[in-house]
Amino acid sequence: MSENVINGKQIVADIRGKLKEEIGLLAPEGFRPGLAVVLVGEDPASAVYVRNKAKACEQVGIYSEVHRLPAETSQVELLELVDRLNRDTKIHGILVQLPLPKHISEDAVIDAIAVEKDVDGFHPINVGNLSIGKPSLLPCTPAGVIEIIKRTGITISGKRAVVIGRSNIVGKPVSMLLLRENATVTVCHSRTENMKELCREADILVVAIGKPKFVTKEFVKPGAVVIDVGINRLEDGTLAGDVDFGDVVDTAGPITPVPGVVGPMTITMLLHNTLQAAKALRA
């Protein structure tokens, strides 16, 4: 593996080790952060994510419970569960796994989660606080991306950053977090003209569009940090990112492989958010 390939396992191990230590210091006081994850239906990818989250909670000492509901669960029933979890004092973080069945409004469910327990960082109040720079629970994947970039040793302040993708889950919030770190940020999307030229100006390139191997070396400034958020299953069953890793790796500076970095970091930031929410609710 090339020296510029980011070691996701090491980053995750370092952060989770510190979280475990901090949570352990709370144990003698009889206090334990708690996370509730709600899974509606049997989407295979979602089921894997939920298992990984429960395993990660156990690893660092967070109490977790998983509520598995059938796909035919009504919106009213789901909202009643969210309300119970909002009032449950042993639960400090609530995550409703997306996507939800089509008959359930994701917006209604996100809005129903108590802001202080919104460890996904999707509630409109948390999104608003992010946009104006107030303290808030940050969305896990974008927060993880920023942490990965910082751990490459690069100083974000003053750098040119390009984000490909403008989703509410990754593209928009990661662009706001980069702005918060004083980068100069350009957001590219399906209507962007001269995308390759814009990307080649980037010191930091974050790709989150859901198109396998879309970004080739023609998009990349030599030595640029490349963070690939995409994960796509190809026809042969293998996984690939939105970046053509084999084509780009020798041009880029620090670069994330897929899978192995952004996914585990997302779960790690969920653990971080749960601890932060627990401490805030305890205060």
How many CA within 13 A on the CB side of residue 228? 34
Decide the pairing of beta strands 239-240 and 232-233: antiparallel
Residues paired with residue 69 on neighbouring β-strands, in sequence order: 40
Q: Are 271 and 22 a contacting pair, CB within 8 Å?
A: no
User: Whole-angstrom Cα distance, residue 107 to residue 209?
Assistant: 21
Residues paired with residue 65 on neighbouring β-strands, in sequence order: 36
The single residue of 117, 118, 120, 203 carrying the catalytic annotation is 120
Determine what percent of the chain falls in helix, strand and coil, rounding each to the nearest 5.
45, 15, 40
Alpha-helix runs per DSSP H in 64-182: 75-87, 106-112, 124-132, 140-151, 171-180
Give catalytic status of residue 53 as yes or no: yes
Active-site positions read 53, 97, 120
